[in-house]
Structure 1
Amino acid sequence: MAGTTATERAGTSRGGGTLYRGDLGMWSWVAHRITGVLTFFFLFAHVLDTALVRVSPDAYDKVIETYKNPVVNLFEVGLVGAVLYHALNGLRVMLVDFWSKGPKYQRLMLWVILVIWAGVMAPGAYYMMARTLNDLFGGS
């Protein structure tokens, strides 16, 4: 490796930041963190809007009514996708951590959970969006 510095060989760029080549494991790590944060914020908002019923039932009803629109419906599909990915990937992470052969099969397990995720999300998204799609494109 003539011509490269030890810093470059160690994986850092000349600008001082980390140079990561975008391996599949990195993206699964990033997606796991993002889906975890999204789920946390949803639960936080859900607790707040549910607690509103004790303060003012009328205000609660108004908030819930605002949720009945196509944009929120799309966000709900995204939320289900995020929770499902986070749960499946969490199982994979536990297998990698606690199964002696987990690290050897971690990449295969990632592909398996992605296939399961897609297999569940495709019909799930269709059924979750059916009313919205019907209202938008063909309903009465």
Structure 2
Amino acid sequence: MAHRVTGVLIFFFLFVHVLDTALVRVSPEDYDKVVAVYKTPIVALLEYGLVAAVLFHALNGLRVIAVDFWSKGPRYQKQMLWTVMGIWIVLMVGALYPVLGHAVREVFGS
């Protein structure tokens, strides 16, 4: 279920991203306003959520491929799920500063 939810969330992000990028051709001033909104701490948290969704979706997709195409995949799917979760947590901890560092500096000062 989480794989499907993250897939849908990533799709909606891509849809909005295409729309806001297309806005530059229609009204560069409005595009600049939208980009200014993207520099807020709340959007930084949403970016972190996007990173979480993409990483989980990618890692779990590899697990799904292994379950489908490896003869022993179904037998080890639970262990592979825990492995995916462990790798995902490590990567999410590693993404904290690169993704949220600018927002923390903005809120708390340099």
What TM-score do you get using the length of structure 2 for normalisation? 0.94
Q: How many residues align?
A: 110
Q: Which moved more, 1:118-127 or 1:35-44?
A: 118-127
> In structure 1, what is the equivalent of residue 93 of structure 2?
122
Deviation (angstroms), 1:134: 2.3
SS in 2 for 1:103: coil
Of 31, 44, 65 in structure 2, the residue corresponding to residue 60 of structure 1 is 31
Matched AA of 1:33: R
Does residue 86 of structure 1 match 2:57? yes
Does residue 105 of structure 1 match 2:65? no
Does residue 33 of structure 1 match 2:13? no
The structure that has the greater radius of gyration is 1
Greater RCO (Cα-Cα under 8 Å, separation 6 or more): 2
Residues 91-132 of structure 1: CA distance to partner in whole angstroms, max 9, x if unpaired? 100110011111011111111111110111102023211121
> In structure 2, what is the equivalent of residue 135 of structure 1?
106
Deviation (angstroms), 1:59: 1.4
How much identity, in percent, do the aligned residues show?
Answer: 62
- Consecutive unaligned residues of structure 2, counting only runs of 5 or more, are none
- 2 CA distance for matches of 1:56 and 1:133? 31
What TM-score do you get using the length of structure 1 for normalisation? 0.75
- 1 CA distance for matches of 2:77 and 2:16? 34
- Consecutive unaligned residues of structure 1, counting only runs of 5 or more, are 1-29
Higher helix share: 2
